[in-house]
Amino acid sequence: MAGWITWAGSAHFPLDERGGVIEHPVRVQARGRKLEDLKHLEQAGAAILQLDITDGQQNINDTIAKAISIYGRVDVLVNNASYISIGTWEDLEYGDFLAQFDTNVFGTIKVTRPLLPHFRQRRAGTIVFISFLSGWIGHAGCSAYAGSKNCGRSLAGNRTLGIKTLLIEPGRFRTKLLSKNKMKAVISTIPEYAEFSKTRVATLSKEDQAQPGDPVKLVETILDLVRQEGITEGREVPFRLPLGRDVYGDMKTKCEETLKLLEEWKTTIRSTDLEE
Ligand SMILES: NC(=O)c1ccc[n+]([C@@H]2O[C@H](COP(=O)([O-])OP(=O)(O)OC[C@H]3O[C@@H](n4cnc5c(N)ncnc54)[C@H](OP(=O)(O)O)[C@@H]3O)[C@@H](O)[C@H]2O)c1
């Protein structure tokens, strides 16, 4: 499928190691908060637009209308923009939770809504949601982020009128997510949590730029999935796909634990229906 991909939060669109844009017969539209951060993509042929997904709905509607007008249509929306908030429940303020959900959940909703009429009228369009393993496992000290990423999983379930959704659940990928100026970490001031909190943030900071996942390979795989090419040839494209060696192991363990739980508690689980 050749077409028009609009990538919200496009810092890592695949420039390969040689610095060139990986060649795909798609026209890419990159959207980010700072246009200067997207210049390299513009030089490589993408149309760029300024967009902060926490803006008011009207501003976002206007940007989406502009996006559609550039090439006359949009085929794929990738809801990629996000940041990670780290801290225990007691240490994060209500405002920290709000800000996390404002970007990772409500921003996604605000960008997706104005594209839906365009997709519905054409009975075509793909919406990609980027979730995370935390949504499955609930890593400690990561509740705000995990909760917000779990919402992405639920939002992606809504498919109708020729509109496809694709849920990507990446493991740990080497991007700027955990970098000092991107990750929002609160170190606990509560004695009971202090040691755990310090270690958690130190571990994540150490993980920055040591993650095993290659974001270029991740994006290439997403492109294959939405264009139904390459790795998908002869196979049905799944609705959701975890990506990353780490996620494979962790998710398999979680599934096995869940199956065990279902068996061990089968009688109780099946005991709560009304007696009809
Ligand atoms: N890296 C991983 O290990 C990993 C694992 C699982 C899932 N993910 C998910 O993958 C996606 C991409 O993240 P990444 O790892 O590539 O991290 P990243 O390097 O920090 O990229 C995140 C992008 O989102 C943009 N963004 C954040 N808030 C925004 C807003 N309000 N409006 C518009 N753009 C905004 C950032 O723009 P600025 O540059 O302006 O901040 C940046 O371009 C995210 O959804 C993340 O949750 C990442």
112: domain CATH number is: 3.40.50.720
Atom of ligand 1 nearest to the CA of 53: 32
Atom 35 in ligand 1: which residue has the minimum CA distance? 81
Q: How is the beta sheet containing 164-170 ordered, strand by strand?
A: 47-50, 26-32, 3-8, 76-79, 126-130, 164-170, 240-243
- How many other C-beta atoms are found inside a 10 Å radius of the C-beta of residue 238? 11
Q: How far is the CA of 1 from the centre of ligand 1 (A)?
A: 26
Q: How far is ligand 1, taken at its centre, from the CA of residue 218, in Å?
A: 14
Using an 8 Å Cβ cutoff, are 185 and 87 in contact? yes
Burial class (CB in 10 A: 0-12, 13-18, 19+), 276: exposed
CA 12, 15, 21 angle in degrees (round to 5)?
130
**Domain contains 86:** yes
pLDDT digits (tens, 9 = 90+) for 153-205: 777 777 788 999 999 999 999 999 999 999 999 999 999 999 999 999 999 99
- C-alpha distances in Å from residue 51, one per residue of 38, 104, 151, 194: 11, 14, 22, 37
Ligand 1 pocket: which of 57, 59, 83 to mutate (most atoms within 8 A of CB): 83
Q: Which residues are catalytic?
A: 131, 145, 149
Of ligand 1's atoms, which has the minimum distance to the CA of residue 83?
27
Q: For residue 179, give the amino acid letter.
A: S
CA nearest neighbour of 7 among 38, 43, 36: 38
Distance CA 134, CA 153 (A): 11
Assigned domain for 161 exists: yes
* Cβ-contact 79, 130 below 8 angstroms: yes
The pLDDT, as a whole number, for residue 40 is: 83
Residues with CB under 6 A from ligand 1: 9, 11-12, 32-34, 37, 51-54, 80-83, 103, 107, 130, 132, 170, 172-173, 175-177, 182, 211
pLDDT tens track of the chain, all 276 residues?
334 566 665 545 544 433 334 344 456 677 788 888 888 888 888 888 889 999 999 999 999 999 999 888 899 999 999 999 999 999 999 999 999 999 999 999 999 999 999 999 999 999 999 998 887 787 889 999 999 988 877 777 777 889 999 999 999 999 999 999 999 999 999 999 999 999 999 999 999 999 999 999 999 999 999 988 899 999 999 999 999 999 999 999 999 999 999 999 999 999 999 988
Residue 272 lies inside a defined structural domain of this protein: no
271 within some domain? no
Q: Each residue of 186-207: b (16+ CB within 10 Å) or e?
A: bebeeeebeeebeebbeebeee
Residue 250: inside a domain, yes or no?
A: yes
Its domain, for residue 65, covers: 3-265
For residue 155, the CA-to-ligand 1 centroid distance in Å is 18
Assigned domain for 169 exists = yes
- Expressed in angstroms and rounded, the spacing between residue 180 Cα and the centre of ligand 1 is 14
Residue at 276 is within a domain: no
Dist. CA 136–CA 147, nearest whole Å: 10
Q: Is residue 273 part of a domain?
A: no
Domain total for the chain?
Answer: 1
Identify which of 136, 175, 219 to mutate to test ligand 1's pocket (most ligand atoms within 8 A of the CB): 175
Directed axis angle between helix 143-155 and helix 94-101, to 10°? 30
> What distance separates the 2 farthest-apart alpha carbons in the chain?
67
